[in-house]
Structures are given as structure tokens and as C-alpha cells.
Chain A
């Protein structure tokens, strides 16, 4: 049978020829808040290497693995001997080196990479303001650090809550211990993120940025050491202000007291200078954030 050749007898077409011409976009355009949220989530994913190469996942997850392992070990030991080995806040303190390591890896990943590749003009030619870019990255790093410390603290809590011998009352007491611990972890996160991100935002070279972050956090420790052996009680008690880590610990000692140091004042004494430490921490975070915003007002314009 010959093929029908005229249009009139042709059967209705079953396939559709797609129009591959340009389509205008008529859908919704999201506002500033949603764009900020998208950038924040993107930053948080980047911090843990999601959506990135396997190589970018190694270091963040190495740190996450270690802190989780420590938390699980602490919970296991506690369930055996029935006594907490470390409080939640002490755990956060003990992990401070790993937090520094994590910041040194993740902060350059968040900001130095964008500086280096020159992608910033592509952001700044879009509606979102420059300050939103910086703040979204900062918030992402704060959240990542808080999850890094808070997640294992939650594991410790679950371990304690399931093995407590005092029933619901024990769980409640444990929860009251956990909450200050989470707040203390938040303080670590805010201080280390703001300072670390500021340092990283100064250079596009990731190795320099990582080195800079480590230097700022670790090179200041000897200053604390020198100040704390000076023959002056006030100098000794204010020594902790010289380094971000000891500053955070000072605020912790002042606000949490025996949740952090347990009776023995330990090697670090802050005397009556607790409010000074708290004020210094606030000023440090505010100053670092202001400088970060100033940096992004200038860069790549």
C-alpha cells in the first residue's frame, strides 16, 4: 500500500516536534531573603564538601570523624563507669585544636576560592548586595562549626540519656547540662568563624589563607603564656584575652563556672575579669564582622 502523501490524509501526529527556540522566563523570581538563604545553604554544603570533589570532602569529614569518635568513646566510658569523664563544655574545649584545623580548611574553601577564580563579579552583578554575600558565608561557617561541636555533644547526651539509672529525671538533668554546652559550642563557632573568615577573605591563595588562620589562632598562644607568668596578678588574669581560644575559655569559665572547670580553677584564672572577657568576645566578633563587610565593599569592584 502506498504511503499517504498529502497532508489531508496524513494521520494525526503522535510525536511532538519540540520548539528549541529561546524561551522567555515567566516564572517567579525570588527576593533577597530567599537568595540569601540559597547562598547560605550552598555555603553550608560547601563547608562539608557536599557537591564538591571527593578531595574536598577528605579534611572536613576527617575532623567530623575524629570528634564523633571522641564523643562516642566518652559516652561509652561514661556508661561503663557511671561517671561523666568530661562535661559538654569541657568536650568543646578539648576539641578546640580540631576546630582550628576545621576553620583553616573550610574558611578558605568558602571565600578564598571565589577570590582566586574571580567569580565575585558574577555575584556582584546580580541583585544580592555585597554584604549579603559576606554574611551568608559567615553564617554558613558559624553553623558548620556549631554542628561540628554540637552534633557530637548530642551524641554524648543520647548516650547518657539511654544509660541513665534515674529515669526521666536523669534525662532532664542531662538536658540541663547539654544546653549550656551547646551555647558554649555556639560561642566557639561565632568567635572562630568571624576571625577565621576575615583572615581567609584577605587572600585568594588557599594555602596562605589556611596558614593565616592557623597563625592567628596558634601564634597568639605564646603571648598568653608569657602574660600568664608575669609577676602581676592582673596581667595573669587578663592573659587569656590575647588569644581567641583562651578568650572563649575565659568567657566559659565566667558564665558556666563548674560546668567547665569543676572545682579546681585549673591552669587558667580569670579572677573577677569575667565581664571583661565577655565584652572582649563581643567586640572581637563585631570587629571581625565589620572588617569582613568592609573588605567586601572594596573587593572586585
Chain B
């Protein structure tokens, strides 16, 4: 089943500002990254998917339902985590999430049970009885995620879930989103302006810019052919580069790193052999994915 499908989706505000232009995309269930700069149209797309705003033209379907025709049916099965602050400071997380669970149609006791379950899954325990006003940004983001989970949706729409978090908080939030997508059996659409962040957890990536689709594809399809080996030696980087070039390996420099495309396992042997031959202190040798950003870089240039 197609999770989200759009056909020539266009949204203009007041006939002048174009938020989405002729966007056609179809994605399968899983974790989907929606990437684009600020103002690229990510939030507009999410609001159209929720049926909060109507597209100017084009078709859209979420979980097989048209949100413009039956928004309630879509919202029943979708959880939404907004980008901005949306928590009343004087309520406790438990009260708020329980109340919002009831607003999603859960009976009273079920709402209370699911609220504490959802808060536990996002990692809030005893503090859930304290007023939200005293929470850290990281805890607030978790509460926002918990309220999106409370009614057990089939799809989560997360608008910039890592906003305002420190690096450790970002990692924790991304790990949580990844767990929801893989272990909970809930599809997730994660919005971010940081490509490097979402590419770590996504199955599918949608990149938009200025309301236009840059690329939508499986992440493995994007990166499969482009794995590289990163080599770092404490000294003698120049010598090693020259030696590897002699071995007909196309070496690229990236700061202190040497990047060598990974052809097959033989590449490892060649590099190790070269390092041993020159008697250099090897600092690290690891395989890394080609950053998806580099795939978009050329396209963005042609687009501009």
C-alpha cells in the first residue's frame, strides 16, 4: 500500500507566494525523511497531508484516504508533532497527553493508560506528573512526540523533531524516531532542514526545494554505489596518497582524510598493504556512506 501519494500538488498563498509547485511523489510505509531548507514547503506539505489546509490544485492521498475529502478519517490514523512550542506550561505531561488522547476518541481509562505508556516510550517517567513549564527543551520535545503517539496512529508526521536540541538530545530523539519506525510498526515522516541528520534513520528520502521535488528515492538506491573508505594516518598523508595513486586507486583528499572508492574487498588489502609498506601509523580505516548531501549538491546547483 502506498503510504503517501501526491499528484501535481500545488499550493499558492494569495496567488503570489508558491509554497508547493507541481509536487508528485509516492512513498511506501517506513521511515521517510522530508528534507529541505527553511521555507521549502515542508510544513505546508504536512498541513495538506493533515487536511488542515487545502491544496490549490492537484491530488493527495494519505493511507489511501484523501485528506481534502475526509480529513477526520486521516487525522484518526495520523499523529502530528508540530514544530513550534505547543504545550500549556501549567499542565503536567500526564494530564495533557491524557486529555489529548481523549480528544482523539480514546475512552477515559484507555486514554490514561495509553498516555502513561506513550510517555514511558519516549522516556518520561516520574517527571510526567510535574508541570510542563519546568521541563527542558528535550523533555518538551518528548512530550510533543508522546501526544502524537497516544492514540496509536499508523503514521506519524514529525515537523523538525530535533529543533532546539543539543547534539546528545538530537541523537536520542533520532534513535527514538528510528525505534518507532522499526519496532512499533508505525510509519514516520520526519521533516528536517538537516539532511545529515535524517539520512541516518530513513528508508526513503524526499528532498524539496522552493516547493519543487528535488528527488525522492530509497536511501539505499541513492547510496549503494557510492560507498567510500576513509583512511587517516597520523603522518605521511602525502606519501600515502602518492602511493595509492601509483596503485591506480582514485584518491580524494578531505582534510586529514583520504577517501578511496570501495570497489571490492581487495581495496582494503591494497590500502593496508600500502600503509604497511610505508610504515605509517594508521589512525583509522573505515567504510562510510557517501553523504546524500553530495548527491543533491549537483542537482541544487543545476536547479539554481
Contact = CB atoms under 8 A, between A and B. Distances in A.
Interface residues of A, number: 37
Interface string A17-28: 000111111011
Nearest to A51: B95
Interface string A285-299: 000000000000000
A34 interface: yes
A122 B152 contact: no
Interface residues of B, number: 41
Nearest to A36: B103
Nearest to B120: A20
B170 to A, nearest CB: 22
B127 to A, nearest CB: 17
B105 A118 contact: no
Interface in B81-105: 82, 84-90, 95, 99-100, 102-105
Given A25-B110, A301-B52, A128 B82 contact: no
A44 B72 CA distance: 25
Given A22-B121, A23-B117, A117-B89, A122 B147 contact: yes
A100 interface: no
B184 interface: yes
A126 B185 contact: no
A127 B88 contact: no
A125 B82 CA distance: 9
B183 interface: yes
B13 to A, nearest CB: 12
Contact of B90 (A42, A52, A126, A127): A52
Given A31-B105, A117-B86, A124 B76 contact: no
Interface string B100-120: 101111111010001001001
B115 to A, nearest CB: 12
Contact of B152 (A24, A39, A123): A24
Contacts of B86: 117-122
B106 A121 contact: no
A27 B105 contact: no
A114 B82 CA distance: 15
Interface in B31-62: 47, 50, 52-53
A29 interface: yes
A38 B107 CA distance: 9
B105 A122 contact: no
Interface string B166-178: 0000000000000
28 contacts: A20-B120, A23-B117, A25-B114, A25-B152, A29-B106, A35-B104, A39-B103, A52-B90, A56-B90, A114-B88, A117-B89, A118-B82, A118-B86, A119-B87, A119-B88, A121-B82, A121-B84, A122-B82, A122-B86, A123-B100, A123-B103, A124-B52, A125-B50, A125-B75, A126-B100, A126-B104, A301-B47, A301-B52
Interface of B: 47, 50, 52-53, 71-73, 75-76, 78, 80, 82, 84-90, 95, 99-100, 102-108, 110, 114, 117, 120-121, 147, 151-152, 180, 183-185
Interface of A: 20-25, 27-32, 34-35, 38-39, 42, 51-53, 56, 113-114, 117-129, 301
